[in-house]
Structure 1
């Protein structure tokens, strides 16, 4: 230990001594700035300063001293001499006093006011403070007048190698892909040294690896760490610990050093193919297993990890490629064999498959090593199971005619037991099959009108005019659709009034042969029509069309088909007459009730003469509608409505439909209203006259 300390001191003092000898003296002259003093001083002070300035300007002298340095971390029994202040004004008469002020004056640095020697009285640390700025001043010992302008100078703290390098961010971690080539950069580390990087080699660092060879190397100056061996295999060793040293003094002896650790992890690359754990797999499965059921699992191991270990599975050969499939399980990294189609033990009892496992992510750098895949053989044995019977067909379609006799045989279905034992059909295993029975049509229904038709013929119609269009229907269902034939009865072929015409849409039109039909002569015509189908044998039926003769407007709109309505001169129907009579009866009832109530209410117990005149005055308006009232309604119509103009209608045929012109309806309503009003007025007048006579008699 003492030898090492002596060696360190020798290395430290040697450059300092050489520097001390070779450096020439330095002269610093700093003129005093009196501007602030002149601005704030008194007149006496201004005169004194002016005199001092005159003296200073007259003398051409200045401070003389060498560059001052002080060694850090120096400790001894006596204060260390830093340097000496001297001015050429000092003749050695000891009349000059030296004064020191500034950073550390009196606390760190002390000056001999007679000789100007400056000593360091405390231990200094350059890393704490590298230099100090002080001010030197020479004054007269007796008068304390300045002999020189104050001058600043610097005392620098001389660095020594007292700080070892440090790795502030350690320990370190880094990764590098496995199988990397020689010299692949891993990372770089940096150490710091608190010593002066400018002076000497105290902060000049050199890096080296103490532990981690021969796998890694480091550049001495840049601290870049690289791989020192090519193709390091993660599967052989995944993690490495590297110890790194940083040494100052350029790596020479006597330098200080610091160390740190670096953990290097090899990351995985896909450099290994998958490999099946075994070359042959055996599985057994019952023949009645449900489709999609997992039969077994195969697994190919891969030494890689993560996505580099992912493999896909396929069936590449074998006699069961159509019956089985294999899927990949991403979690377990194995292949699952499943059933795609039903198995039959009686048909085939075993199958052989060749499965393949291949890496999903291929690294082209390692393709030269060969295919990253592996194959294995899978044998599947089918086991017998008690199966349900099997029908000879999956579905059956049977046909039967609709007129088939009871207990007729429609068809048959057959089933067999697929098991080897060919056991008879039992109740423990049940199979079902759909059987459809189609009923075939037989022509056993005759065609007929699609609905109950009733035609209307206008009296003013024209020859050839279509009276009605009818269509037919048939309950049977022929294969080629319905086709009907229409004809008249043989005795109606020469019908003078009507004829028929077949239309393209399988319908029939009835036409009038002439005009001049009169409902007074004949109101209703019956036309039988024969309808035949196209069946084998064909069937037919006769449907009768009722044709009524009606009164129509000029544009062909049917207005009335009733003979009674036709003979009424004023257009009043029986319904209108009944309404009029009901109105009259209702008015009579109201009048009687009104008179009765009024008499019971207004009759006095004693009648006075002077009241008779006033109460028996009756006012009424006998002005009516003139001729309109007298001609509005003929009472004879009510007494004998059938005897108008001496015409009596037919009683053997009563019309079902009655069509009245709109104008006649409005006239009937107006006449009814006027009749009722006139009747009410007449009855009211008669009532008042009778009451007056009764009052006079009283």
Structure 2
């Protein structure tokens, strides 16, 4: 901690040792001005709480104990100000107070305790595990965070590297069979292990795993076994075992007969659970022919580790002498085994078959039979003690148990303890007593947009009976119901059936689930059948057949309306639509009058009685009233083709008058009016007058001079004059209007 006086306006670095009792003087700040008006203030991290300043003397003290692990340094600013105006007298000084570390944290193992394994027989120095301890003290200051490792418990078997914490084996070829588990305590001490340092410890539990480093060993080099000549072929006559100190698969072994005169009479097998050698009889013994046999038996490990081959060989050999005992021979069965058959569901007492045995001795004693009741299966049969006839004692179910294996024993009447045994295998024959059933629960879906004849599901069936009484299966719809209008069934002749739709389209809102009873029959005699019901759900599908949803969208039913109410509403809507259509049809078929009023001149004929004042009288009527208003707005003008009429003199010969065909002229105008796209869309009438034939006054028509306004005298036409004048004026006005 510094005690030097610091001048205002400079930066200072101050070290404070953590854990010192408070308050502690840290620094004194002074200004060049020693006036009594000076006031010292302190700002920054911890100012006013952890650090305080005397506003008169400038002494800075710490009021609380500091912990470097929480905060390593503090930045403070001291300044001299005027007491009256609070204005700074000099620039502020910055103090960086660094907390100096002390050794107040012990090393800690965050992952302990540890559990680890290492193979036995490992080389000395084999790495087992690396442990790591952490120290919260400052690693850059002193030795507070410098940790060293040591073994507190576990020597001399294991060691630890003082710097890295790596645990290693300290002995060569540690033997699991001698000791398997070790508990090692490792200590981590700071201050580089010096006196006064803090420490922490952890436990490492180490287990030696087994390797195949021990060969099998027979406890004895010679064994002797007594086997009576009455022993059954295939029966176990003795056991032998070699010991192995290893564990698990490293102790597995196999027994073999390597030589001896009894290798053809006996066999040996290995019991994997007990690791024993089971000696069985391969052929019948006869004391009168051979009284003893010798076997050399080898026991060898099946899993070898070549790293330890130098410890082998991993096998051992012993000699077994088998002595054949002379006994009164039991009855001898006519066959080494029997196979019999009986139908399931046969009545109790049904004869299954007969076994026969005879006494091989010269006395030829009578034989008595019985069944060895060693298992539950033996209680399903009884045997006649005198004849050897086997009968049923219970009802059989082939589907539950298709085979029974019993053992029949035979003995002489005079010596019931002298037995011979024979295996009897009884096969239960099948009877058609199980109807076929659907192979599984089917989730059948039909799309709303289904088409007639579309396959929606293929079903199959199973039968517990065998193939003779099961397939082929026949599928049909339940005949007790009426013809199904929605679905049908098709036999595929391969023990399956397909469900097909019979109509087009289904509606979830109308019916979302259908039930289809199916009758399935087998091929047994007599045939059995069963009925199963398929549940078919109606679903909305995509065009490619993928199911989109199967929930009915009953938006109408949610409103609380019944089906009858919905039908009534639909009928009312249909009737209203029919009335509207009929009304519109009658309105369109009604004929409108040719002329509604004299004022409506757009869609009707304009009538007038003014004779007119000749070609120059254009005030008799408004020619624009004859035009279509829309055509006038769009400036679409019609240009009629003028008739090619010769301008004739006042006195025209009679032959030229005959050449004028007024009927053709009118037809030509009518055709032009029909083909002209600019004519009004409403009906109109064009009127043409005819002055007659062979008039001596000749033609006075102004059709050839519609663009020339001249006075024309029509009086010489007599009675035809006024009418023809009107026609000429009307035509002239129309032609003038269209050409402009």
TM-score tier (shorter): 0.3 to 0.5
Q: Which has the higher helix share?
A: 1
When the two structures are superposed, what TM-score results if normalisation uses the length of structure 2? 0.44
